[in-house]
Amino acid sequence: GQQGDSSPTTPPSGWVGKSVRAWPADEAAIQREAQARIEEALLRERMLKEELEVLKAKSEAQSRKDAEVREKLQLESEALLRLLEEERAWVRSERLRREAVEARLETMERKLADVRLDAPDRGVEKALL
């Protein structure tokens, strides 16, 4: 070739309606454009893949965050239920303790009344001791 490039100097068998001299330069231009389009398509594909990876990662992160929030709420509600149970148990024990104290007071009052009836002439303290 006179242009000094290494493209073939004979046209392919389908080359119709163009001069043989024009073929190598046109073919090279066509090949360059095709290569540019392929590279552009590959670049676009790579960018879309990267975008997809980012979206996947965001989605997974959101799923993890949602799971963590659910787990935290579950733990908090379980802790609150335990506290509620402890409060109820405490209230029950306080009620029982108060009832026991009231029962002891009633017993002491009856004893006091009995002592007063039994020993009106002696001091109440001596009778209780």
- Report pLDDT digits (tens) over 59-98: 999 999 999 999 999 999 999 999 999 999 999 999 999 9
In a domain, 82, yes or no: yes
In the prediction, which pLDDT does 101 show?
95
In a domain, 17, yes or no: no
In a domain, 13, yes or no: no
Q: Is residue 29 within 8 Å of 18, Cβ to Cβ?
A: no
Q: Two tokens at 24?
A: 């190598």
In a domain, 15, yes or no: no
Q: For every residue of 76-114, which 3-state class applies, written as one string?
A: HHHHHHHHHHHHHHHHHHHHHHHHHHHHHHHHHHHHHHH
In the prediction, which pLDDT does 12 show?
63
- For the chain, how many structural domains are there in total? 1
62 or 28: whose pLDDT is higher? Answer: 62
In the prediction, which pLDDT does 1 show?
44
Is pLDDT at 47 greater than 50 in this prediction?
yes
Q: Two tokens at 4?
A: 């000094």
pLDDT band at 13 (very low <50, low <70, confident <90, very high): low
User: Structural domain of residue 36, as residue ranges?
Assistant: 23-128
